Amino acid sequence: MTKAPISADRSLLEGSTPLHFLSPSCALPEGSEAAARLQGFTGEREQIAFTEKSVLVGVGGEGRDPLAAGAASLKLPSGTYSVAAHPQSLPLEDIARGFALGAYRFHRYAGDGEGPRLVIPQEEIAGKIAREAASIFFGRDLINTPAEDMGPDALEDAARRLAGSFGADIKVYQGDGFAEAFPLIHAVGRAAGPGKEPRLIELNWAGGGDKRLALIGKGVCFDSGGLNIKGGKSMGLMKKDMGGAATSLALARRLMEEGAEINLRLLIPAVENAVSGNSFRPGDVFRSRLGKSVEISNTDAEGRLILADAMALALEGSPDRMITLATLTGAARVALGPDLPPIYSTEPQFQEKVLKAGRRLGDPMWPMPFWERYESFLASDIADINHAASTPFAGSITAALFLKGFAGQVPYTHIDTFAWVPSPLPGRPKGGEVLCLRALTAVLMGEEG
């Protein structure tokens, strides 16, 4: 994993390169005018200009991105840097966060991962951002790792290591009796090869207080589409189909590390949606753990199936809130693109807090409705429900409605994440991304009123 890109070590200030974070209205540092003019620097977002002794970083004007400082760490070479100036409207914490998140490098297979490092002498800010970045880098590493090295077994290992680091309890359901206990998870994952058998990973952490949170992350470690096989281009990024699981693990790490007063139950159904002679088929009907019979119409809509059985197990623990995180639908990307995960919730106040935190932290989402009239799109002639809609309309909504049917009366929130940055952005290098983590952490930690 990328080394901590933030340090509070004051001894590193000497010899560091000063960074001037500037908006278009800010005065240029003395002696930098010629270099700025030559390089076309005006303070607009993502601009960088090098002077003889410092670097100018543009952060834009009104409505700037809270992660704007991340443009620096995306573009700067390895080395140690310090903050010489920044606009009052861009707090030092935002600068540290943007810089840290942009400094991530995935180096498991190539390179040494050494990126730029920023010295923030304020220990409280430096410590907070370093911890936050470590959890985000943990999640990014999981998503970026190819399926050959990140199958259900490796995802289980990651969860076990996380549990061991924080004294959490862990249990893994698999093997004998699994098909009867979790019929939908087993159906999706039964075609995978040795060592990649389907399983359900459960991590429990007693953080105190009286609130019980069930957090469920989709762990499809590779999605071929099953018998409804994907085309080559569509299949190319499917190592990221466990992005919901990675985000859930990273969020659990944040909550445990910060000592959240939450009793957390994390559930990750981990499978590979593979093709073989025993693949599940369109037209099959399975009785879910909850007891509902589910007709299969598209094996490439597998994520909601494995989540449904995990949600049924979560219900048995009577949680106060249930959250599912999943790379669930292409329809969400058609509607909102890669940057904006749709958020569905039966808790309007909780949803608004998450949206507000997302705007403040540069971790945006967009509210979407559980539009109940579309439940008719999931009707089946031979089962209680069809798992995929009979129409191409409203694909993200119908997927969310299917899941809502397995949440019982528990307050329920679902986030349909992309878990990937297709082109680099400030604070978000190209590759795996744990979208929504920072906003959820802020709300669950009580930081967002």
| Alpha carbons 385 and 30: distance in angstroms, whole number | 69
Buried b vs exposed e over 102-112: b needs ≥16 C-beta within 10 Å?
A: bbbbbeeeeee
Residues serving a catalytic function are 230, 304
| Alpha carbons 148 and 60: distance in angstroms, whole number | 42
| Alpha carbons 384 and 388: distance in angstroms, whole number | 13
Hey, what's the torsion of the CAs at 426, 428, 430, 434, to 10 degrees? -170
| Alpha carbons 256 and 251: distance in angstroms, whole number | 9
Tokens of 246: 């990675």
> What is the CB neighbour count within 10 angstroms for residue 130?
17
3-state secondary structure 351-405: HHHHHHHHHHHCCCCEECCCCHHHHHHHCCCCCCEECCCCCCCCHHHHHHHHHHC
3-state secondary structure 5-37: CEECCHHHCCCCEEEEEECCCCCCCCCCHHHHH
Identity of the residue numbered 34: A
Tokens of 45: 């977002």
Buried b vs exposed e over 278-311: b needs ≥16 C-beta within 10 Å?
A: ebbeeeeebebbbebebbbbebbbbbbbbbbbbb
| DSSP notation for 86-114 | --TTS-HHHHHHHHHHHT----SSSS---
| Alpha carbons 224 and 212: distance in angstroms, whole number | 35
| Alpha carbons 246 and 268: distance in angstroms, whole number | 9
At 241 the three-state DSSP class reads helix
| Alpha carbons 426 and 101: distance in angstroms, whole number | 8
Identity of the residue numbered 7: S
> What is the CB neighbour count within 10 angstroms for residue 408?
16
Q: How far is CA 376 from the centre of its chain?
A: 31
